[in-house]
Amino acid sequence: MWIRTTRATAQLTVLASMFLLAPEALAGNGKIAIKCGRIITQAGADIENGVIVIEEGRIRAIGKDDKAPWDAEVLDHPELTAFPGYVEAHSFRGMDRPNENIEVAPFLDVRDSIDPINFYFEDVLRQGITTLNIQQGPLCVIGGQGRVVKPVGLTVEEMTVRPQSGLKIVASARPGRSRATQAQALRKAFGELRTYLEKLVQDKKDGKDYAKREALFQGRDMEKEENKKGRAMEGNAPWKLADFESIPRGEVDEKQEPLLRLVEGKLMAFVQCDSAVAVSMALEIARGNGFLANTVLVIDGDSWKAADAIAEAGVSVVLGPNLLFVERDPITGKEIETFVPKVFHDKKIRYALQSLNSTAQSLWYQAATCVGYGIERKEALDAVTKTSADILRLGKRVGSLEAGKDGNVILLSGDPLAVTTTVQYVVIEGNLVYDRSKDVRARHLLEGIEQNNAAPANTGEEPVDPHSGKKIEDAKKKDASDDKGEKKKD
C-alpha cells in the first residue's frame, strides 16, 4: 500500500515500524492525483471540482480538466477543499531547548537543537502547517541560525527545506536587563566583528598570511577559495571596510563568520522586537550594518506604533500572536484597542501572521481574526501562506498551489477560515503524511478512551458492566448463543 500510516500513528506504534516506513515516506517518487470539490489555489481563481497532479514531489498540473496519470494513486474527495499548506514564518518550538545562555552566539545552528520526534511537529501537522521557520528563542542578543523545515522526517536533514534560513537577533530588552544594555551588547557584537576583520586584513597585508603558506605547503589552491570573496558592502550602507575584498575567506573565525555573512547580505536576519522603541533599535542596527534589505522584524507589543519607520525602511514583519493591542489611558484608565494587522495594511507593509506555536491561535485562526476585524479575506489568507513564503524567500516553492511548486496540499472539510473546518489530509511533497481518520491521538482527545484499548480487567472477579451492574459474562454467553443460532441458520 502506498498510503503511509500517518505520522501520528507511526509514533504510537513501535519504533521498528517507524524504521520500516521511513524510507518509503521520504522517497517522494510516487504520483498522486488529488480530486476535490474545491481548490483554493492562492494563485488566481479558485477551481471547482479540480484535480491536482503531483509528481516527484512537485505539482505537475492543476486544473479542472487535468487527468490523473494512469499509474497515479487518486485521492478522490469531492466533499473536501484543497488548500496550500500553511507556512509558519517564525517559530521557536520543536527544539530541545529554545535558548542558549551565551548572549552572542551567531555560530550556533538550530540543526543541533531541532528534535524531529517532538510532539510539536505532530501538532503542527494536525493544524495543516507544512512549512516552518524554526528560529532560536528570544532570550539572547544574537542567537543561532534558523532553519526552514517541514514537519515530517526522522532526521533534521530529512525535514530540512532550507538550512541556515536566517540569524536570530533580539532588539528588545531581555528580562532583568535594560534596553541600553541590550543595545550596547548588539552594537558591541558588530563593533567587535569590525575590529576583528580589520585586524585580519591588516595582518594579511603585513604578510602574516600563514594560511596561504600553509595551503601552498599542503599543495592546496587558495585561489579558488579567494574567488569566493563576498561582494563589497553595497550602496549607502555605512558599514564600509576599505579592503572588504581582501578578507581571507579561509581564515575567518567560525564564530564570526555568520555575522560576516549577515553583513555581506548572504544571510537573513529575524529581529525580535517587543516594542516600538525596540524597532528603532533594530532598524538602527540593520541599517548601520548594511543588512536592512535582508531583515524581517518579528514584532510584538506596541511595535506597531513604529509602523511609519518600518514602512520607510521597507522591511517585512511577522506579527506576534496578539493581534489586538490593548492599552490604557494613564489618566482615565480607559482602554484603547488597536488592531495591529490593520495598521500594517494601512501603511502597505508586507506582513505575515504567526501562531507562536499556540494551538489555540493557529494560523487559520489568526487569519480568521483578521477577516473579523475587516481585513480582506485574500490578504488574510495570504498572510498565512503566500506572504509568509515570500518573506522566507520560498515564494517559488511553497505558499500557493501552482504547477512547479512543492506538492504541499492540505485537504480541509470546509472553508479554511471556518471554525468547524478540520484538516482531513495533509500531503507534503507528494506524500500523504496525515490522515485524520487515522489520527489516534486526536480521536483519543475528541472521543475519549476507546473501550478496545482499555486494559483488560484482571481482578480475578467476574467482570461487571459499570453501567448496568450486571455481570458481563451473561452478555458474552448471549452473544455466543446468538452466534450459535446464526451458525445453525447457515
Partner 1 sequence: MVSTLFYVAPIAALSFFTAAASFAKPSTADNPASNNATVAIQAGTIHLVENGTVLEGGATILVRGGKIVAVGKDVEVPAGARVIDYGADAVIVPGLVAADSNYGAPRPSERTADPFIRAIDNFDPYASFVFALQEGVTTAYFAPARGRLIAGQGAVVKLSGGPDGDRVLSDSAVIHASIGEDARNTPGYWQPPVPATIDTGMGVEQQQLPKSLMGAIVALDELLAIAKGGPDNGEYGRGVGAKLRELVEAKKPWRIGADSEAEIRAALDFAKKNGIPLILDGANGAASLAKEIAKSGVPVILDAPFSPNQSGRDFGKGRDAEWPRYDAAVALAKAGAKFAIAPSSMMSASDLRFAAALMSRGGLDPEIALRAITLSPAEILGVADRVGSISVGKDADLAVFSGNPVESGSSLVALWSEGDTSFKAYETGSVVVHVDELFLGNGETLAPGEILMEKGKIVDIGRRVGRPSGAVVVKGGAAMPGMIDALGHLGLEGSTRVPATRFEMKRIVEPGDLADRRVAKTGVTTVVLTPRGISRTGAPMMAYKPAGDDVDKMVVADPCALRLQWTERNRRESGKAVRETLQKAVEYAKKWAEYQDKLAKWTPPPAGATAPAKDADAKKEGDADKKDADAKKEGEGDKKEEKKDAKKKKGEEEPAKPITGAWETKVTVPPFAETRLRLYLNDEDGKISGSLRCDTLSSSLVQLTGTRDKHKVTLAGEGSNGPIAIEGETAENKLKGKITLGETKIDFEATQVSTEYEIVRRSEVRKPKEEKKPEVKGEPRAPGVDPELEPFRKAMMNEGAIVVGVDREDEILDCVDAFNDAGIHPILFGANDAYKVVDKLRGRVAGILLTQRVIYTEPKTGAQKRNRYAEIAAAGIPIAFHSDAEEGAADLPLIAAYAVSQGMSPTAALRALTLDAAKMLAIDSRVGALEPGLDADVVLFDRSPLDASATVMRVWVNGKEVR
Which residues contribute to the site for partner 1 (CB under 8 A)? 101-102, 105, 107, 176-184, 187-188, 191-192, 255, 275-277, 280-281, 302, 305-306, 308-309, 329-332
Nearest approach in angstroms of CB 263 to partner 1 is 19
Q: Residue type at 22?
A: A
Nearest to partner 1 of 43, 309 (CB atom) = 309
Q: Nearest distance from residue 181's CB to partner 1, in Å?
A: 5
CB nearer to partner 1: pick between 9 and 256: 256
d(CA 407, CA 260): 35
Q: Which is nearer to partner 1, 188 or 378 (CB)?
A: 188
b/e burial code for range 94-115 (CB count within 10 A of at least 16 → b): bbeebebeebbbbbbbbbebbe
Least gap, CB of 308 to partner 1 (angstroms): 8
Shortest Å distance, C-beta 427 to partner 1:
42
Pick the closer one to partner 1 by CB: 305 or 438: 305
Distance from C-alpha of 124 to C-alpha of 355, rounded to nearest angstrom: 10
Question: Using CA of residue 469, residue 470, residue 476, residue 478, what is the dihedral sign?
Answer: negative
Cα–Cα distances in Å, from 77 out to 55, 130, 201, 253, 413? 19, 20, 63, 55, 10
Nearer to partner 1 (CB atom), residue 68 or residue 276: 276
Cα separation, 65 vs 58, whole angstroms: 19
Residue 96: strand, helix, or coil: coil
We find the least distance from the C-beta atom of residue 302 to partner 1, in angstroms, to be: 6
Q: Looking at beta carbons only, is 302 or 382 nearer to partner 1?
A: 302
Find all residues with CB under 8 Å of 27, minimum gap 6, and list them.
none
- Least distance between partner 1 and beta carbon 188 (Å): 7
**Rounded CA separation 386/280 (Å):** 27
Backbone angles phi, psi at 219, to 5 degrees: 85, 15
User: What are all long-range contacts of 118-121, with beta carbons under 8 Å and residues at least 24 apart?
Assistant: 118/93, 118/94, 120/93, 120/94, 120/357, 121/7, 121/94, 121/151, 121/152, 121/159
Nearest approach in angstroms of CB 333 to partner 1 is 10
Nearer to partner 1, 149 or 286 (CB): 286
Provide the minimum distance between the beta carbon of 305 and partner 1 in the complex, in angstroms, as a whole number.
5
Using alpha carbons, list the distances in angstroms from residue 339 to 352, 366, 370, 372: 14, 12, 8, 11
Q: How far is the CB of 113 from partner 1 (least distance, A)?
A: 16
Radius of gyration of the chain (CA): 27
Which residue, 158, 156, 165, is CA-closest to 115?
Answer: 156
Strands 58-63 and 86-91, bridge-based pairing: unpaired
Q: How far is CA 91 from the centre of its chain?
A: 6
**106/272 Cα distance (integer angstroms):** 15
Nearer to partner 1 (CB atom), residue 267 or residue 281: 281
Q: How far apart are CB 271 and partner 1 at their closest, in Å? A: 15
Are residues 4 and 431 in contact, defined by beta-carbon separation less than 8 angstroms? yes
Nearer to partner 1, 180 or 445 (CB): 180
**Whose Cβ is closer to partner 1: residue 176's or residue 460's?**
176
Residue 472 CB coordination number (10 Å)? 14
Q: Nearest distance from residue 276's CB to partner 1, in Å?
A: 4
Residue 303 vs 421, nearer CB to partner 1: 303
Characterize the bridge pairing of strands 31-39 and 73-84.
Answer: parallel
Query: Using CA atoms, how far apart are residues 273 and 237, in angstroms rounded to an integer?
Result: 22
Which CB atom, from 277 or from 391, has the smaller least distance to partner 1?
277
Residue 292 beta carbon to partner 1: minimum distance, rounded to whole angstroms: 19
